[in-house]
Structure 1
């Protein structure tokens, strides 16, 4: 019997922009991409193989996977069995106050987790509790917020003494200019020259630094940002064809392919799942 992959998305009724993915993968591999949000996942069945942070990881059932915003990664089943997992996506704005409170420092609002693959039963229970509340549309706002606080406090606790981001180095500051330029021009036909000039770097130097820092090319990053922006537009009810045109995809077919490589569903399928 032929196996197919399944991707089910659920939006919280209580916490703005929080959503959960419940996935079963047998014949699907994600392209390298990054999300704007924090992502907290638990491997439920099979083996979850992925690349992130300059190395390959293998997650067996029960392990926690955590991605910071803009952390590039991919993913696929690691063996012949079906890979099952849940992933909860939380906007940074929803976690800043929780991180700061858990660490007892306002500077901790910009917290970033140093670990990607985490064997932690307490953290796993909190993630699964939050995902089940969202998936089954049960519980109150305070219950979802409490589960989210447990996730934030456990991550800060595991990190020990909080280390602030510190002053950005010059290359980091220049690359941040490039990222800000890209995000401000997602609906425009930007070129590599435009982006490197915004960062005040030569094209060669910019390409090398960008790839070294983020693990993907500027072109891949632009496409990734456009898909993320398209996702928000779809959630707001904008027609997929209009979204494709707005964010510079050559046609709906091109948009479908790019979107599915990151979200596992076509834009139309995704929109139906989160707006129904």
Structure 2
């Protein structure tokens, strides 16, 4: 009997449209390294989930929670011959800032960054799965989903212990942040390494070394990731894939399809159709 192919199902919350959940079943697919603008909270349901992030490789067995901060580079693939099943909820930081600050008792905690990528935490797992199920089955009210978000944020802050505001940003971090901001502000332009490194006030050589060392991804991969993320937002707004491909500098629709699929598991058209259901 032929082995079933991988399956990806995306759902948008009807109560909180900014939220997206992915229900995935993988057997023959590997994600390219990429980063999302949102927080991502996942639970491995079956099989083993292997991925690179934060300079190291991780293995997530069933029941484990995976948490990516915004802009945290990662990839992913099944870790053995069994089918990998998981859910992943994508949450913009604005949806969590008040809950993080409330849980920490500190306004500056709104930009909370989790230090652990893999967590064995039944309470956090339950909150993530509760929110995912509400979204997948289009159940509950807005406040039900907000309650699940608040439980997730509270548990993450509890695990972190006493919140410590971040210290001064290092010079390399500040320079690379300038480069990232330049990329995000010029996604529709024909960007060059010279322009990006100049925005960071670094030579091209030092910029390439620092960027790869800091983020585990090349500037080229980062630009593609940002363009695909921006394209996803346009697709959700109803812009046709051909127009989106042209807007963000993809050679043609075929090129756009390939790049988008390496990050979201499906073509732009399939994604647009999936979230419209």
Q: Where does residue 3 of structure 2 map in the other structure?
A: 2
| Alignment gaps of 5+ in structure 1 | none
User: What are the residue-to-residue correspondences of 1:50-89 with 2, within 5 Å?
Assistant: 50-89=51-90
Runs of 4+ in 1 over 6 A off after TM superposition: none
Kindly provide the CA deviation profile for residues 90-138 of structure 1, in whole angstroms up to 9, marking residues without a partner as x: 0011111110011000010010000001000000000000000000000
1:184 deviates by 0.5
1:273 counterpart SS class: helix
2:231 counterpart SS class: helix
Q: Where does residue 208 of structure 1 map in the other structure?
A: 209
Kindly provide the CA deviation profile for residues 179-236 of structure 1, in whole angstroms up to 9, marking residues without a partner as x: 1110000000010000001111110111111111111011110000000000000000
1:167 deviates by 1.8
Separation in 1 of the partners of 2:132 and 2:35?
A: 20
Separation in 2 of the partners of 1:16 and 1:177?
A: 30
Are the aligned partners of 1:3 and 1:27 in contact in 2 as well (CA < 8 Å)?
Answer: no
User: What are the residue-to-residue correspondences of 1:19-58 with 2, within 5 Å?
Assistant: 19-58=20-59
Q: Where does residue 148 of structure 1 map in the other structure?
A: 149
User: What are the residue-to-residue correspondences of 1:1-276 with 2, within 5 Å?
Assistant: 1-276=2-277
Are the aligned partners of 1:47 and 1:60 in contact in 2 as well (CA < 8 Å)?
Answer: yes
1:170 deviates by 1.4
* TM-score, normalising length: structure 2: 0.98
Kindly provide the CA deviation profile for residues 58-87 of structure 1, in whole angstroms up to 9, marking residues without a partner as x: 111100000000101111011111100000
1:165 deviates by 2.3
Separation in 1 of the partners of 2:89 and 2:96?
A: 13
Separation in 2 of the partners of 1:10 and 1:166?
A: 38
Count of residue pairs the alignment pairs up = 276
Are the aligned partners of 1:40 and 1:89 in contact in 2 as well (CA < 8 Å)?
Answer: yes
